[in-house]
């Protein structure tokens, strides 16, 4: 066996450690999470940083794909890396990843997980927040971080519509035309609406979401908030199971992935924390 053959074998047989990374990124920099051939993605940016550390291509899996312009505060991503490199220093490994990334994305926490852990399939619940800038004039400080709505919004009316969305339903009326999910049945566990100054925050958590489901729900809730629809009409649109009967999709820039919950931890639990030998 020559040198090159030996080196190839050593790379493929090196012991690996599966890690879960909590990732924060600004969707303004990326054309979504998923790797693309002709655009910059959050996944490709993270994988490039990992490859620089590992000296080989690294595949990552996330809790939930995000569209172009959507942000993440605590996206959970798993990958298989060198066990020896990880065991030398978990802190140095995290710092090494972030050192490779110039802007737009940062790893805020890393922890080891079992080999059968899967960021997507092991996830019990995903959470998002949608931000609306509700003022007669827009903000120039961060226009890509919310949806500007100059009209008055009745939060109480929107709150009345929320119970119709909670629980397990067929959300065909709120899925994108190109959604590839085998079923439109999903379970929404929680929705709340909070006004903070000029901003309105809508938080929503479910076992999983369909393509554009959150943004479509927001677009329809706003119709209730501005008085165009009654809360009952939202229930009617859900029941008809027809996307064409629903309102337009809310812009991506106001949406944030905020948490992924697993049996033993949540992604938000590990933001800014260092692994010290136990989970």
Identify any residues that bridge with 201 across adjacent strands, giving them in sequence order: 131, 194
Judge whether 192 and 158 are in contact, CB under 8 Å.
no
- Kindly list the catalytic residues: 67
DSSP string, 86-129: HHH-HHHHHHHHHHH--SSEEEEEEEE--TT--TTTT--EEEEE
Identify any residues that bridge with 114 across adjacent strands, giving them in sequence order: none
Helix (H, G, I), strand (E, B) or coil at 258: strand
- CATH of 7-121, picked from 3.40.190.10, 3.30.2270.10, 3.30.70.580, 3.40.1360.10, is 3.30.70.580
Residue 14 is predicted with a pLDDT of 80
Domain ranges of the chain: 7-121, 125-259
Residue 4 is predicted with a pLDDT of 47
DSSP string, 157-185: HHHHHHHHHSEEEE-GGGS-TT---S--E
Task: Look up the CATH number of domain 125-259.
Answer: 3.30.70.660
Residue 11 is predicted with a pLDDT of 47
**Domains 7-121 and 125-259 equal at CATH topology level:** yes
Residue 257 is predicted with a pLDDT of 98
DSSP label at 229?
S
Residue 213 is predicted with a pLDDT of 96
Tokens of 150: 């100059």
Task: Report d(CA 258, CA 200) in Å as an integer.
Answer: 16
Rg for the chain, CA atoms, rounded: 21
Helix (H, G, I), strand (E, B) or coil at 85: helix
Judge whether 104 and 233 are in contact, CB under 8 Å.
no
> Average pLDDT by consecutive 10-residue portion of the chain (279 residues)?
44 82 96 91 96 96 94 98 92 93 95 97 98 96 93 97 97 90 96 96 97 96 97 96 94 97 96 74
């Amino acid at each position: 066996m020559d040198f090159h053959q030996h080196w190839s074998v050593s790379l493929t047989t090196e012991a690996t450690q599966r890690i879960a990374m909590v990732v924060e990124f600004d969707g303004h920099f990326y054309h979504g999470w998923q790797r693309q051939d002709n655009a910059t993605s959050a996944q490709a940016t993270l994988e490039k940083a990992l490859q620089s550390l590992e000296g080989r291509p690294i595949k990552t899996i996330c809790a939930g794909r995000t569209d172009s312009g959507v942000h993440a505060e605590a996206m959970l991503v798993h990958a298989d890396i060198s066990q020896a490199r990880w065991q030398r220093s978990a802190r140095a490994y995290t710092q090494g990843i972030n050192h490779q990334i110039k802007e737009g994305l940062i790893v805020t926490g890393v922890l080891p997980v079992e080999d059968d852990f899967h960021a997507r399939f092991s996830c019990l619940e995903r959470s998002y927040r949608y931000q609306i800038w509700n003022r007669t004039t827009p903000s120039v400080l961060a226009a890509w971080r919310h949806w500007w709505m100059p009209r008055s919004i009745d939060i109480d009316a929107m709150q009345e519509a929320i119970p119709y969305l909670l629980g397990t339903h067929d959300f065909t009326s709120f899925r994108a035309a190109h959604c590839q999910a085998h079923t439109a049945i999903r379970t929404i566990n929680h929705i709340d609406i909070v006004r903070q100054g000029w901003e309105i925050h809508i938080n929503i958590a479910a076992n999983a979401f369909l393509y554009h489901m959150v943004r479509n729900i927001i677009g329809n809730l706003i119709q209730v908030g501005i008085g165009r629809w009654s809360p009952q009409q939202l229930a009617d649109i859900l029941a008809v199971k027809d996307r064409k009967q629903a309102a337009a999709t809310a812009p991506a820039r106001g949406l944030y992935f905020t948490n992924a919950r697993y049996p033993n931890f949540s992604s938000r639990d590990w933001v800014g924390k260092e692994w010290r030998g136990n989970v």
